[in-house]
Chains A and B, each alone.
Chain A
Amino acid sequence: MTELLVYFVLTPILIAVFMYLFSHANLGRLLAVLFQFGLVIASFLLFNYVNNSYSSVILNVGDYRGLLGISLGVDYISSLFVLITNFIFLMSTIYSYKEKDNKLFWFLMFVWQAAIVGVFLTRDLFNRFVLMEVGTMIITILIVYRRDNRKMYHSMLFLMINIVAVQFYMFGMGLIYMQTGVLDLYAAAARLSHLDISYLILPYALFMTFVAFKAALIPMSHWMPKALAASGAPSSFSAILAGIHITSGLYMFIRFSYMFNMINARPFFIVVGILTSIFSVIMAISAKNIKIILSYLTLSQIGLIIVAFNIGGIAYTGALFHTANQILFHGALFFAAGIIAHNYKTLNIHEIDGVWSVNKIAAIVTFVGLMGAMGIPFFNGNISMHLMFGYEGVDTQIIAWVINIGIIIASVRYGKIILGTPKEGIKAEKAIEKNIASLIIAFFCVLFGIGGSQIAYYVFNVNINIFSMPFLTNAIILTIVLVLSFIFTGKIKNDKVTNISRDLDVGFKGMVICIGIFFISILITTYLLN
């Protein structure tokens, strides 16, 4: 049973090449959906096994002795992420079932799936590097999937800045290998605890610079809306990029924090997380393209998650649960945005009105996703938000409330597209597969919301009493704020506000300088804190 772990990564690649060579008829697509369904079932079995036996599954690929080979490992965190990744890819396969000219697209999606699942499963540092390069190249091709000059510029920018960031990771790997002599993450962690802490500051700074770049934290969060603004590839690409690609950055943050657990840099990351959330909320209020608004909403959630990871204790568990939730509700939002863009043929928020009368399913899915993002009771963001910030001190709660109010204002602004009357000539084009995929994700969002406490108990062993006083108080305050902002928020067409995002464009040189600034700040802060 343990030997089958490596086939989670290898079989998607083989199927990808097979589909590239033989994917003319509908039979190939049907086989692809069946295969994805099989993968979801297999990852669900793995998830059950890991959670029931409370142990990790470790496989030494090729059965070589000691540390000479590469090992793959699963514990309760990675199995949850692998399950959700495979599920979202199954939904994307259904969503893009009727894509024309799709030979290359399916090949790229399957290989991307293999790369992301490989990052979640591997325990070796260099293997992670190779898999991330594969992922970067695939995203580069998917951004320019339809021919357009603007997307070519953004794609080139994305590729180059990722290569610059990964050189920091390579140098960090070299320093770790120099000091410990191994490249396996857990073996290196065991040896690093015996070393003098002043030798570990530099590798920590190098690794965390790369991880913060991948998770799009504050000086380096500029690549994400640019990559997502592409409307060329099908919308499932945006869902996967915003949900799962960023989650691989967060996952690496968890693993590297474990590897360097003797270094304490928590205040630094709390500040960075808060700044990221505030910055993205401001940009979400002032942006015009619906996909860019959604990407900034994602970034604000990421900021909150990073803050909660660094507080520790129950907030850590809440952050893990919230990561899983945000993949689901952002997937729902992006799928619905894809349906809306398909019907309205524009991405400008001022021209989109009255989604409820055009396409009811897109409206429902958007509503469910936004409720999850805001953390309303009975939708999935609620339990995890409560775990993250409900048990902490007053000052943390005040900051969390401020950011939450900002998220509510931005989400209500986005949600106003549901109401109103559409322009003439907009008719709903029936796309059954997109509707089905979006509805299934929305159903799972509601399921995670209503059954949230049971899931938290089963996976993370946390008991939540949903009838306790703080929980009910938070729920009531949230509902009041929601109703108030609904009444008082319009679509914010003021030009002075919307021009904020236009003037903040840095080019390639600016992004390289931002990486340098982050590196200096984390180096000095870690030195001062230790």
Chain B
Amino acid sequence: MGFEFSLGVFPVIMFFIGYYGLITSKKVITSVIFISLMEMSGIMFFLLLGYRVGMIPPIAPVGDAGFLTYNMEYIADPFPQALMITAIIIGIAVTAINLSMLITLCKQSKTSNWSELKKLYSEGDF
């Protein structure tokens, strides 16, 4: 605890930049952009773990037995990389659905402000 500065602070800054953008965005399409920022901050956090200067990617050269004798602290971690590929794919899929819903909705209602959409569609339910 306490305010020490490490590499992990940068994804947190990005997370809250995205959060601030979500609170203050007036149009729907800017919210989608800031959600992308928040996703990228989470992914970057996973990949920054265990960083040392001079890291090599975890690819073993074909026919080389010397890979495993390399100092394991300087080989990047393959586990978060595989998970983050999945997370990036999920991010694209969700953005695609979001944008197609946005196109249909905003074309039908001719506006794309959050406050105007709220006035149009939030009454009469209760």
Contact = CB atoms under 8 A, between A and B. Distances in A.
A198 B2 CA distance: 11
Contacts of B1: 198-199
B101 A159 contact: yes
Interface of B: 1, 8, 15, 19, 22-25, 28, 31-32, 35, 38-39, 41-42, 45-46, 49, 79-80, 83, 86-87, 90, 93-94, 97-98, 101-102, 104-105, 108-109, 114-115, 117-118, 120-123, 125-126
A130 B49 contact: no
B55 to A, nearest CB: 17
A183 B122 CA distance: 41
A153 B117 contact: yes
A512 interface: yes
Contact of A501 (B15, B101, B126): B126
Given A152-B105, A153-B117, A159 B46 contact: no
B104 to A, nearest CB: 6
A150 B121 contact: yes
A140 B97 contact: yes
B42 A160 contact: no
Interface string A156-197: 100110011001001100100110000100000000000000
A53 interface: no
A133 B90 contact: yes
Interface in A493-530: 498, 501-502, 505, 507-509, 512-513, 516
B19 A512 contact: yes
Contacts of B25: 509
Nearest to A499: B126
B49 A178 contact: yes
Nearest to B12: A171
What's the dominant secondary structure at chain B's contact region? helix
Contact of B15 (A140, A171, A199): A171
A155 B126 contact: no
A366 to B, nearest CB: 21
Contacts of B8: 178
Given A153-B105, A156-B102, A178-B49, A133 B94 contact: yes
Nearest to B8: A178
A513 B83 contact: no
Nearest to A171: B42
A507 B101 contact: no
Nearest to A515: B19
22 contacts: A126-B86, A133-B90, A137-B94, A137-B97, A149-B109, A149-B121, A153-B105, A159-B101, A160-B98, A163-B35, A164-B38, A167-B41, A170-B42, A171-B15, A171-B41, A174-B45, A226-B125, A286-B126, A287-B126, A292-B126, A498-B126, A505-B118
B77 to A, nearest CB: 10
B31 A160 contact: yes
Interface in A187-213: 198-199
A474 interface: no
A479 B126 CA distance: 31
A513 B115 CA distance: 15
A229 interface: yes
Contacts of A286: 126
A289 B49 contact: no
Given A153-B122, A507-B118, 8 more contacts: A133-B90, A149-B108, A160-B35, A163-B94, A170-B39, A174-B42, A512-B22, A516-B19
A153 B112 CA distance: 11
A159 B123 contact: no
B49 A174 contact: yes
Nearest to B82: A126
A293 B118 CA distance: 22
B94 A164 contact: no
A413 interface: no
Contact of A288 (B83, B114, B126): B126
